């Protein structure tokens, strides 16, 4: 049963837009898929290799800008960015990793944060190239969401499967050994610098592809959207830790939870509270609805604090613990 | 097996909430109009002013019988000031709430990202604040704009330079690195060239700097006659206060709308705000019927001052109601056609969507030049609407 | 020449303030080895306290130091005791969980501030907010000069505190070698709690003295967090003198960058210096000064 869960889920996701033809929910699912790809990338470098990155937006933005600039300057379809975006992100990741992987732990995290900010500034200042804050607008290719839905789904599936595949090869074991104890790995003859580079570049490639898809789908980017420390880099971390650090399906679960939480709060539980307030005519609920829709970031923050405190390995990593807490009588049932 | 039960339970719970959201929107017999505004985040302050103005106008319209017997229902969505969230919001409005038309759109970048969706889905969108020029330069027939584009903001100021301040020869332009600042400063450079002024420097900065002195000391060393700044409130206040500290004395300090006309600017810059000019689109004293009345009513209801963004939103609501009233049927296409033939006088000025230069469906409005004189924001140019005489050149800091 | 001198003055005055911001971060990073990414947000909280005291009770911002610092000390103690310390016992894959936790705390603090005060800009205007004096052609902002001297004062005090008091010595011992300190009978948990409190109180002081010349809104913390870790890395972990030099270096680099390269580059200059120092002078100025 457990083995087939991902497959069943995949089939549901494939059928979903055909059965439920609502562009809004399709839009949300596309966001989820993009976040799955970003989260998988982050999980590769941070979750499996132990090098926490605060600079995913640098790769994401590079991918997005590659797609956007190809379309803007050369009139080439932005879909080419799906191929080149990942490569350009690697072109950023490579020198960065080369130089900064001699830093360890928190210092690497800070360096990646600095990379994020430097990229954002460059994109803002280099107006002739990037148009600065004016941003880049392209007309989306399709009016319907369905093509985007399947492309995004494919990207998400590819990211999850490639992470799963890589983790079964010997690279995967090298990554894990670097995470567990870098010095021990070194003494076993593993070229840690090299394998950290491999991991970072895979992560950058996935994230860059996601960025290019974002450009194609959203049709608009500016430096503060795609190089955002809070909305991309930190969100990527949140997707990773909420879902489960160092698990294959963690980012998928994390992406779904984060997008859902964001949208729940933003719309005040899809007008649930507002509806209740109208039905009962209660002023209190009306005010509560207003506050709730203002509190989506607060919701995130509290979620993060709680997850780190009580589910340090995320929803997937601590699934058994979570179920144990939600279903206290489970043990008894299992016994009978 | 237990796990899958928990999972199914979760899915059911989610589905329940989703369906609640859907059933919510199948409500009474009203005309639904979607509005996107930043109600949280950094831009929330202005979003809130627009929100209140929309609601105020809505109340007036519905109290007067609504549109052809039906009431208008506004569905206001929060964009949080971010283009991608704005896009989620507009998707929801179009496909979930099935609104007839859209309005709002505060910042240029969010507006820019959302109008493409509206155009693709053929939903009329009346932009009332997003000011980047290119918004109406795409030839998109479903996009209309009430406010003038950013390149036209300094219109009145340019005529002031030509007729009064003719001895201004050199210019320094300081702008924040935002869509508004970067595109506005570029357009202003072009305007200066057309006027035969020499642009000595044009420099951007990241909003939120503590110390502008390195920038201002350069302006001082270059001895520019005119300092033109495109900044939001707090940067605007700091720029003026530090200009005073540095004893920087150009012939003119001019702000390119945005931060320089707000009451907070006066409060924070205190004495340093005196005699500063600014381009603006609207003040309560403009010669349009209902302008002063709108201001007074807003202050009375909400007990706080309002400014041009609010007037834009208030008037946009009337334009929307007018278009809905004249539409042959309440389909998006007919509403669009009705909007295209708008000819209405509002508190923000006459509204008529025309095509000129590269722009389509753009409302053309005159702009004004205002000056802070002894704590009051006075309209000083064009002369026929002036509330007080201009003070030019502005006195040196030491002589005040 | 005037341009050069005025830039120099601007850089030094701003640098003093940066030093005070970096000082707290430096202590926390030195003792606990974690990066506190909620540092700027703690400063924001202190600034709101200053604002409330000044706006509603009319208390002078400098006097409110006596409220904001103890309040932030308590807040820091609570954060360390109830959210960060428990993480030491939690079994998790990433050792950086504490850093991620501070991100979460930062978000919560920012959003609570937004809840209470909305996103509106707030500021405290005093009679000396834009008072200046001139030395020759060069202008000095009085409020910034005061802030500069307060920063220097706190640095000297911390220097003395770490060197001469028992708690100070324990903090230094924990920073140097946690296990050895434990063996020597230092209660390391208590020390981390005190350090986090002290660090928070110091950044509170920075926020409070900045208030008369600056302004305030809930998102103000982020950029200051970034400046704080740049300064800390520049100066060296746990080094008080290093923090002041780090702050001055950053202040001067930003000011000269803004004058001679362009204002748009000032943030970037700091970050590039940061990466260079990480790579070529790991340990920061502390390596050079040994204190």
- Chain A residue whose CA is closest to C281: A103
Of A220, A269, A274, the CB nearest to B113: A220
Of B25, B91, B112, the CB nearest to A135: B112
Q: Do C100 and A237 touch (CB under 8 A)?
A: yes
* Domain boundaries defined on chain A: 23-248, 267-336
Q: Are B286 and B294 in contact (CB under 8 A)?
A: no
Task: Give the pLDDT band of residue C71 (cuts 50, 70, 90).
Answer: very high
Q: Which pLDDT does position B23 carry in this prediction? A: 43
Asked whether the ipTM of the predicted complex exceeds the cut of 0.90, the reply is: no
Q: Are C124 and C51 in contact (CB under 8 A)?
A: yes
Q: Which pLDDT does position C198 carry in this prediction? A: 92
Q: Which pLDDT does position B25 carry in this prediction? A: 44
Q: For the residues A59-77, what does the mean pLDDT come to?
A: 92
**CA distances to A93, A169, A203, B292, B305 from A197, in Å:** 8, 16, 10, 65, 57
Measure the CA–CA gap between B117 and B83, rounded to whole angstroms: 12
Residue of B26, B79, B91 to mutate, interface with A, max A Cβ within 10 Å: B91
Q: Are A216 and A286 in contact (CB under 8 A)?
A: no
Contacts of B204 in chain C (CB under 8 A): 262-264
On whether any CB of chain C is under 8 Å from the CB of A98, the answer is: no
Q: Which pLDDT does position A160 carry in this prediction? A: 93
Q: For the residues C106-115, what does the mean pLDDT come to?
A: 89
Q: Which pLDDT does position A271 carry in this prediction? A: 65
On whether any CB of chain A is under 8 Å from the CB of B14, the answer is: yes
On whether any CB of chain A is under 8 Å from the CB of C44, the answer is: no
Q: Do B113 and A31 touch (CB under 8 A)?
A: no
Q: Are C243 and C19 in contact (CB under 8 A)?
A: yes
Report pLDDT digits (tens) over A241-281. Answer: 888 888 899 999 999 988 888 888 777 666 666 666 666 66
- The strand pair at C132-135 and B376-381 is best described as unpaired
pLDDT at residue C119 greater than cutoff 80: no
| Chain B stretch 277-296, residues whose beta carbon is closer than 8 A to a beta carbon of chain A | none
Measure the CA–CA gap between B180 and B257, rounded to whole angstroms: 10
Contacts of A312 in chain C (CB under 8 A): 87, 90-93, 97
Contacts of A23 in chain B (CB under 8 A): 91, 94-95
Q: Do C7 and B217 touch (CB under 8 A)?
A: yes
Q: Which pLDDT does position B14 carry in this prediction? A: 53
Measure the CA–CA gap between B270 and C124, rounded to whole angstroms: 12
Contacts of B78 in chain A (CB under 8 A): 266, 293
On whether any CB of chain C is under 8 Å from the CB of B264, the answer is: yes
Let me know if A26 is exposed, middle or buried by CB neighbors in 10 A (0-12, 13-18, 19+).
buried
Q: Which pLDDT does position A332 carry in this prediction? A: 44
Residues 6+ apart with CB under 8 A from B19: none
Q: Which pLDDT does position A336 carry in this prediction? A: 38
Q: Do C92 and A313 touch (CB under 8 A)?
A: yes
- Chain C residue whose CA is closest to B42: C119
pLDDT at residue A205 greater than cutoff 80: yes
Q: Are A108 and A99 in contact (CB under 8 A)?
A: no
Angle between helices A250-266 and A296-310 (to 10 degrees): 150
pLDDT at residue A335 greater than cutoff 50: no
Å from B264 to nearest chain C CA? 9
DSSP category for residue A292: H
Q: Do B113 and A260 touch (CB under 8 A)?
A: no
Residues 6+ apart with CB under 8 A from B11: none
Q: For the residues C112-136, what does the mean pLDDT come to?
A: 83
User: Subunits touching B (CB < 8 Å, at least 3 pairs)?
Assistant: A, C
In sequence order, which ranges of C36-185 are alpha helices (DSSP H)? 39-57, 65-79, 85-89, 97-117, 142-164, 166-176, 178-183
Write down all domains in chain B, each with its CATH number in brackets.
30-148+288-363 (3.40.50.2300), 152-280+367-399 (3.40.50.2300)
Å from B389 to nearest chain A CA? 37
Q: Which pLDDT does position B15 carry in this prediction? A: 53
| Chain A stretch 296-315, residues whose beta carbon is closer than 8 A to a beta carbon of chain C | 297-298, 300-302, 304-305, 308-309, 312-313
Q: Which pLDDT does position B142 carry in this prediction? A: 94
Point out the least confidently predicted range of A282-291, B91-100, C276-285. A282-291
Q: Are A105 and C282 in contact (CB under 8 A)?
A: no
Higher pLDDT, C22 or B20: C22
Task: Give the pLDDT band of residue C289 (cuts 50, 70, 90).
Answer: low
On whether any CB of chain C is under 8 Å from the CB of B344, the answer is: no
Q: Which pLDDT does position C222 carry in this prediction? A: 86
Q: Are B311 and B282 in contact (CB under 8 A)?
A: yes
Q: Which pLDDT does position B13 carry in this prediction? A: 53
Q: Do B210 and C14 touch (CB under 8 A)?
A: yes
- Chain C residue whose CA is closest to A310: C90
- Return the number of other C-beta atoms located less than 10 Å from residue B178's C-beta: 25
Q: Is the dihedral of CA C155, A106, C38, B43 positive or negative?
A: positive
In sequence order, which ranges of A246-295 are alpha helices (DSSP H)? 250-266, 268-280, 283-293
Q: Which pLDDT does position A56 carry in this prediction? A: 92
Measure the CA–CA gap between B192 and B198, rounded to whole angstroms: 7
Q: Which pLDDT does position A156 carry in this prediction? A: 95
Q: Are B315 and B262 in contact (CB under 8 A)?
A: no
Exposure string over B20-51, b if 16+ CB within 10 A, otherwise e: ebbebbeeeeebbbbbbbbbbbbbbbbbbbbb
User: Subunits touching C (CB < 8 Å, at least 3 pairs)?
Assistant: A, B
The most confident of the ranges B74-83, C15-24, C262-271 is: C15-24
User: For chains A and C, what is the number of CB pairs under 8 angstroms?
Assistant: 129
Measure the CA–CA gap between B307 and B91, rounded to whole angstroms: 30
Q: Do C223 and B208 touch (CB under 8 A)?
A: yes
Of C107, C110, C271, the CB nearest to A304: C107
Measure the CA–CA gap between C267 and B209, rounded to whole angstroms: 9
Q: Which pLDDT does position C179 carry in this prediction? A: 77
On whether any CB of chain B is under 8 Å from the CB of C128, the answer is: no
Q: Which pLDDT does position B28 carry in this prediction? A: 55
Q: Do C215 and B237 touch (CB under 8 A)?
A: yes
Measure the CA–CA gap between B354 and B360, rounded to whole angstroms: 6
Higher pLDDT, C241 or B8: C241
Contacts of B40 in chain C (CB under 8 A): 114, 119
On whether any CB of chain C is under 8 Å from the CB of A254, the answer is: no
Measure the CA–CA gap between A329 and A335, rounded to whole angstroms: 10
Q: Which pLDDT does position A9 carry in this prediction? A: 86
Å from C218 to nearest chain B CA? 9
Residues 6+ apart with CB under 8 A from C115: A291, A294, A295, A298
Report pLDDT digits (tens) over A127-164. Answer: 888 888 888 888 778 888 889 999 999 999 999 999 99
Of C3, C121, C129, the CB nearest to B233: C121
Contacts of C136 in chain B (CB under 8 A): none
Cis peptide before B382 (omega within 30 of 0): yes
Q: Do C96 and A102 touch (CB under 8 A)?
A: no
Q: Do B2 and A319 touch (CB under 8 A)?
A: no
On whether any CB of chain C is under 8 Å from the CB of B204, the answer is: yes
Residue of A24, A221, A231 to mutate, interface with B, max B Cβ within 10 Å: A24
Q: Which pLDDT does position C75 carry in this prediction? A: 96
Residue of B79, B217, B220, B222 to mutate, interface with C, max C Cβ within 10 Å: B217
Q: For the residues C234-238, what does the mean pLDDT come to?
A: 83
Q: Which of C225, C171, C190, C170 is nearest to C42 (CA)?
A: C225
| Chain C stretch 90-149, residues whose beta carbon is closer than 8 A to a beta carbon of chain A | 90-97, 99-101, 103-108, 110-112, 114-115
Low-confidence ranges of chain B (pLDDT < 50): 1-3, 16, 19-27
DSSP category for residue B391: -
Å from A1 to nearest chain B CA? 8
**CA distances to A117, A133, A217, A224, C276 from A123, in Å:** 10, 8, 20, 9, 21
Task: Give the pLDDT band of residue A96 (cuts 50, 70, 90).
Answer: very high
| Chain A stretch 141-200, residues whose beta carbon is closer than 8 A to a beta carbon of chain C | 179
| Domain C2-289 coded CATH 1.10.150 | no
Q: Which of B133, B146, B171, B167 is nearest to B358 (CA)?
A: B133
């Amino acid at each position: 049963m457990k083995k087939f869960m991902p497959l069943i889920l995949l089939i549901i996701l494939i059928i979903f837009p055909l059965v439920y033809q609502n562009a809004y929910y399709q839009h949300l699912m596309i966001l989820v898929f993009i976040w799955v790809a970003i989260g998988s990338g982050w999980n590769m470098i941070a979750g499996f290799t132990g090098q926490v990155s605060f600079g995913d937006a640098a790769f994401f933005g590079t991918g997005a800008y590659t797609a956007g600039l190809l379309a803007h300057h050369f009139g080439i379809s932005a879909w080419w960015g799906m191929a080149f975006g990942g490569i350009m992100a690697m072109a950023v990741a490579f020198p960065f990793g080369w130089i900064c992987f001699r830093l360890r732990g928190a210092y690497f995290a800070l360096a990646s944060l600095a990379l994020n900010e430097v990229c954002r500034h460059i994109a803002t200042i280099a107006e002739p190239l990037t148009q600065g804050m004016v941003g880049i607008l392209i007309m989306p290719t399709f009016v319907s969401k369905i093509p985007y839905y399947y492309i995004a789904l494919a990207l998400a599936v590819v990211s999850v499967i490639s992470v799963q595949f890589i983790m079964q090869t010997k690279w995967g074991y090298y990554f894990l050994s670097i995470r567990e104890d870098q010095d021990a790995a070194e003494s076993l003859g593993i070229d840690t610098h090299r394998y950290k580079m491999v991991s970072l570049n895979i992560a950058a490639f996935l994230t860059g592809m996601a960025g290019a898809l974002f450009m194609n789908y959203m049709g608009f980017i500016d430096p503060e959207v795609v190089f955002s420390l809070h909305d991309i880099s930190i969100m990527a971390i949140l997707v990773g830790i909420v879902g489960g650090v160092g698990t294959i399906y963690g980012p998928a679960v994390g992406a779904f939870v984060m997008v859902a939480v964001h949208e729940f709060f933003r719309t005040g539980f899809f007008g649930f509270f507002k509806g209740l307030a109208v039905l009962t005519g209660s002023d209190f609920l009306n005010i509560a609805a207003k506050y709730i829709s203002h509190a989506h970031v607060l919701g995130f923050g509290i979620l993060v604090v709680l997850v780190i405190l009580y589910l340090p390995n995320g929803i997937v990593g601590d699934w058994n613990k979570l179920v144990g807490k939600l279903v206290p009588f489970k043990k008894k049932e299992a016994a009978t | 097996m237990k796990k899958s039960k928990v999972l199914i339970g979760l899915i059911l719970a989610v589905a329940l909430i989703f369906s609640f959201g859907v059933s919510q929107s199948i409500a009474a017999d009203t005309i639904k109009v979607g509005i996107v505004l930043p109600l949280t985040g950094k831009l929330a302050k202005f979003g809130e002013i627009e929100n209140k103005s929309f609601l105020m106008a809505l109340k007036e319209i519905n109290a007067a019988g609504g549109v052809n017997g039906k009431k208008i229902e506004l569905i206001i969505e929060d964009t949080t000031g971010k283009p991608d969230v704005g896009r989620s919001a507009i998707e929801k409005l179009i496909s979930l709430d099935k609104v007839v038309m859209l309005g709002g759109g505060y910042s240029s970048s969010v507006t820019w990202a959302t109008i493409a969706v509206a155009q693709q889905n053929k939903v009329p969108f009346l932009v009332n604040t997003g000011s980047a020029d290119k918004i109406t330069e795409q030839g998109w027939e479903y996009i209309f704009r009430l406010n003038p584009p950013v390149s036209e903001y300094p219109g009145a100021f340019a005529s002031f330079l030509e007729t009064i301040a003719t001895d201004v020869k050199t210019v320094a332009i300081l702008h924040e690195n935002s869509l508004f600042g970067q595109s506005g400063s570029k357009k202003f450079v072009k305007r200066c060239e057309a006027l035969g002024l020499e642009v000595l420097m044009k420099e951007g900065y990241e909003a939120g700097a503590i110390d502008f002195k390195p920038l201002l000391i350069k302006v001082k060393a270059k001895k520019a006659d005119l300092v033109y700044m495109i900044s939001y409130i707090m940067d605007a206040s700091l720029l003026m206060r530090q200009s005073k500290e540095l004893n920087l004395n150009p012939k003119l300090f001019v702000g390119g709308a945005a931060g320089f006309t707000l009451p907070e600017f006066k409060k924070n810059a205190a004495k340093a705000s005196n005699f500063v000019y600014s381009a603006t689109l609207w003040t309560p004293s403009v010669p349009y019927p209902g302008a002063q009345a709108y201001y007074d009513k807003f202050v009375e209801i909400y007990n706080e001052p309002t400014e041009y963004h609010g007037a834009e939103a208030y008037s946009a609501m009337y334009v929307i109601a007018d278009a809905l009233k004249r539409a042959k049927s309440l389909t998006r296409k007919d509403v669009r056609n009705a909007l295209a033939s708008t000819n209405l006088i509002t508190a923000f000025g006459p509204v008529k969507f025309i095509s000129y230069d590269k722009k389509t469906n753009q409302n053309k409005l005159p702009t004004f030049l205002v000056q802070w004189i002894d704590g009051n924001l006075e309209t000083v140019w064009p002369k026929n609407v002036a509330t007080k005489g201009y003070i030019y050149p502005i006195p040196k800091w030491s002589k005040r | 020449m005037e341009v050069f001198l005025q830039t120099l003055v601007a850089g030094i005055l701003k640098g003093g303030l940066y030093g005070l911001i970096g000082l707290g971060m430096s202590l926390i990073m030195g003792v606990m080895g974690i990066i506190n990414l909620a540092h700027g947000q703690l400063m924001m909280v202190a600034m709101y306290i200053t604002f409330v005291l000044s706006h509603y009770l009319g208390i002078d911002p400098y006097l409110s130091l006596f409220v904001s610092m103890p309040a932030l000390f308590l807040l820091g103690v609570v954060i360390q005791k109830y959210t960060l310390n428990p993480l030491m016992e939690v079994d998790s894959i990433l050792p950086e969980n504490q850093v991620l936790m501070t991100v979460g705390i930062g978000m919560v603090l920012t959003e609570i501030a937004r809840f209470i005060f909305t996103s509106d800009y707030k500021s405290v205007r005093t009679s000396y907010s834009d008072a200046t004096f001139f030395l020759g052609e060069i202008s000095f902002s009085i409020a910034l000069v005061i802030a500069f001297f307060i920063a220097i004062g706190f640095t000297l005090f911390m220097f003395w505190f770490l060197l001469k008091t028992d708690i100070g010595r324990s903090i230094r011992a924990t920073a140097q070698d946690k296990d050895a300190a434990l063996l020597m009978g230092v209660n390391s948990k208590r020390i981390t709690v005190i350090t986090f409190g002290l660090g928070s109180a110091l950044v509170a002081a920075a926020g409070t003295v900045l208030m008369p010349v600056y302004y305030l809104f809930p998102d103000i913390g982020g950029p200051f967090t970034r400046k704080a870790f740049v300064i800390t890395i520049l100066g060296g972990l746990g080094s008080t003198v290093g923090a002041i030099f780090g702050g001055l270096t950053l202040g001067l680099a930003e000011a000269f960058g803004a004058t001679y390269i362009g204002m748009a580059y000032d943030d970037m200059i700091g970050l590039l210096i940061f990466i260079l120092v990480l790579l070529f002078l790991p340990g920061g100025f502390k390596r050079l000064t040994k204190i």
